[in-house]
Chain A
Amino acid sequence: MKSLIKQLVETYGPSGFEDAVRELIRAQVEPLADDIQVDAMGNLFALKRGDGSGRRIMVAAHMDEIGLIVTQVEDAGFLRFSGLGAIPPKALLGTRVRFANGAIGVISHDGGAKPEIIGRDAPDMGRWFIDVGAKSRDDLTVGVGDVAAFIRPFDDLGGRLLGGGFDDRIGCAVLIETMKRLENSPHDVIFTFTVQEEVGLRGARVAAFGMEPEIALAVDVAPAGDTPHPELPIALKLGAGPTVKVEDYGMISHPKVRRALERVAQENDIPYQLEVLPLGSTDAAAMQAARSGVMAGAISIPSRYTHLTAEMIDMDDVTGAVRLLTAYLTDAHLTDA
């Protein structure tokens, strides 16, 4: 599984430009699925049919990562940019980025400037720039509208992994691995690889509106609270198992979904953690609100340093998530009282 994860996290795919990630995933899931579809937005659906006695379940992970879109070009060849998704300013200074055409650059800011937040909640801050080494504007191979993704090497630390983009390529890997293991499920399961989650859950909203599932689960990362002096009172720890989401900023899990996940985890001896977050949201929040409503929940992989260029996750949590998801999708009593 680790080599699949490495491939996934090293593929370029910022919000709106997920083609390469989708191709990679499609090659993996096509042999495993009864049906493959791509919708108008670029969401990838891989359907595994059940025996007809179960529910219609959408399981989603998002393919996109945060990116930087070039907004202005200086005559001297420096590129001003804005964030697609929530970019922590801590992630920027000295970080390497690459564009779709392979151009590579580094990020810095105007001398004397105080780095400020850029991203969805603030207009673009002209104090930052990307330097691709161009001698002048005429030397550039990229321009306004082009999108850069962070360069983040992948390192296998043994029990833990260090790399960028686990949000949410690890979710994609969990889905693929679950597809490989899923057998004898009563349910029709639509494994959904969504686009544009980071800029507002846009793909998932369209996916659920179009596919009309009865139950929806998102698989994403959640920030762990187990580093020194954590800022927020979050009880999640690396290695204590995948989480069963109770509540985050965008969604309260449907009690039936949450209870079924807990029951299945207990019955199968899978350690898990209950997740309550004061911030953040996942595709599940969008899927929940589709049409007349969908019963929704989420499983998360605890992760340190989210949205920075080196995130850390624990493989026990990942394999636990695969086991939990597989067991949930095989269970025939999901919506019993």
Chain B
Amino acid sequence: MDIKQTLAQLTQARGPSGGEGEAAKLVALLMQPLCQEVTIDAVGNVVGIKPGTGPEPRPKIMLMAHLDEIHLTVSAIDGAFLRFVENGYDPRILVGAQVIVLGREPLPGVIGDLPPHIMTEKERQRMPDLAEMVIDLGLEAEQVAELVRVGDQVVLDGPFDELLGHRVASKALDDRLLVATILATLDELQRVSHPCDVIAVASVQEEFSGLGATTASWARRPDAAIALDVTFARQPGVREAETFPLGSGPAIAMGPNLHPHITQTLLDMAERLEIPHEIDVQPARTGTDAWGIQVAAGGIPSGLVSIPIRNMHTPVEVVDVKDVARTARLLTAFLAQADHDFLDSLTYRLPDFQEAAP
């Protein structure tokens, strides 16, 4: 599988939270040759099943990366301009940004700014409020009224750029990078046998409400799951304790949101296979699909593997694509050993009551 090419396709597909349709269709298409069955469920999750070898019932392991990207929504039409709402990410990147308004057809737009020449000193010293920003399509009011309605969604425009070495910049690496990783894993699994049924899910609305993670978990009830997301790479001004060097390989999370034995298995595997990796310490909520999965359907043992990127939630997210192949190797090895003994090792044991307490 050509990872860069797949990634370019995936990142450029439009799939805002709650409107993932176009991206979902693309992912379903790419999953088709790699899975026995691919469906899009009632809330929009794309689910591909690749059965394992051996008699039923087989262990069911879910891999999940989220399909949606952050978005804006048109909340009012103000003459030739569009007012909008956004849901919880850095509004600073919107000033001067290029966007795509998903109206009657995809329309390129700009969120501009006042020219500095006429700004007051006070205005120069602060960022604009959301309520001051408008999307400009460069059209007349009558044309806008024809093409756009309140409720239309807007995504950021961030083309796929190849930088030096193996690094690329694009919008929506969060989390299409890991959707690509799942596809790369499914591709490897065509050549590697695995005792478990693999349930590959591209989930909806992680950036909004986490709807896809919980609903897919309840629908499929896997025996264990690994969520896949991006994490923070080192860049100027960020703390070392909370970030990873770009291209340092998959970051394997540990902490209360993750099952300790899943974490340990992934770590041992990465060591054994000499896959560069980092340990990601997560003391509480991980802010990923793993949080919803872990307590769904009575409790599902969960793991979390992340790839570090710079400039998260902007149109210029940066990653070292070597991390995709590394992560796919790790997940393939994990799935290849996920048999009933492995599931058994996930259960917590009571102490031996015959033995005296320590």
User: Are A254 and B43 in contact, with the CB atoms below 8 A?
Assistant: yes
Q: Name the contact of B214 in the complex, choosing from A249, A250, A258, A289 (C-beta under 8 A).
A: A289
Q: Does B77 contact A (CB under 8 A)?
A: yes
Size of the A side of the interface (Cβ < 8 Å), in residues, is 30
Q: Which residue of A lies closest to B43 (CB)?
A: A293
User: Are A246 and B73 in contact, with the CB atoms below 8 A?
Assistant: yes
Q: Which residue of B lies closest to A246 (CB)?
A: B151
A252-B205, A276-B150, A277-B85 known; A293+B41 contact, CB < 8 A: yes
Q: Name the contact of A252 in the complex, choosing from B19, B76, B77, B131 (C-beta under 8 A).
A: B19
A sample of 21 inter-chain contacts (CB < 8 A) reads: A231-B131, A234-B76, A235-B150, A246-B150, A252-B17, A252-B205, A253-B18, A255-B21, A274-B149, A274-B151, A276-B85, A277-B75, A277-B85, A285-B209, A288-B211, A289-B209, A289-B214, A291-B219, A292-B41, A292-B219, A293-B43
Q: How far is the CB of A220 from chain B (nearest CB, A)?
A: 17
Q: Does A233 contact B (CB under 8 A)?
A: yes
Q: How far is the CB of B354 from chain A (nearest CB, A)?
A: 42
7 more CB-based (< 8 A) A-B contacts, given A247-B18, A276-B75, A288-B211: A233-B85, A247-B73, A252-B18, A276-B151, A289-B209, A292-B216, A293-B218
Q: How far is the CB of A231 from chain B (nearest CB, A)?
A: 8
Specify which chain A residues have a CB less than 8 angstroms from the CB of B76 in the assembled complex: 225, 233-235
Specify which chain A residues have a CB less than 8 angstroms from the CB of B75 in the assembled complex: 233-235, 276-278
Total CB contacts across the A-B interface at under 8 A: 81
User: Are B150 and A274 in contact, with the CB atoms below 8 A?
Assistant: yes
User: Are A291 and B18 in contact, with the CB atoms below 8 A?
Assistant: no
3 interchain residue pairs of minimum CB distance? A252-B18, A246-B151, A293-B215
Specify which chain B residues have a CB less than 8 angstroms from the CB of A231 in the assembled complex: 131
A246 to B73, CA, bound (A): 9
Task: Place the interface of chain B in its size category.
Answer: 20 to 34
Q: How far is the CB of B85 from chain A (nearest CB, A)?
A: 4
Q: How far is the CB of A209 from chain B (nearest CB, A)?
A: 10
User: Are B215 and A292 in contact, with the CB atoms below 8 A?
Assistant: yes
A246-B73, A292-B215 known; A251+B42 contact, CB < 8 A: no
Specify which chain B residues have a CB less than 8 angstroms from the CB of A258 in the assembled complex: 151
Q: Does A218 contact B (CB under 8 A)?
A: no
User: Are A252 and B208 in contact, with the CB atoms below 8 A?
Assistant: yes
Specify which chain A residues have a CB less than 8 angstroms from the CB of B50 in the assembled complex: none
Q: Does B74 contact A (CB under 8 A)?
A: yes
The residues in A between 215 and 245 inclusive whose CB is less than 8 angstroms from any CB of B are 225, 231-235
Q: Does B83 contact A (CB under 8 A)?
A: yes
A292 to B47, CA, bound (A): 13
Specify which chain B residues have a CB less than 8 angstroms from the CB of A315 in the assembled complex: none
A232 to B85, CA, bound (A): 9
The residues in B between 6 and 51 inclusive whose CB is less than 8 angstroms from any CB of A are 17-19, 21, 41-43
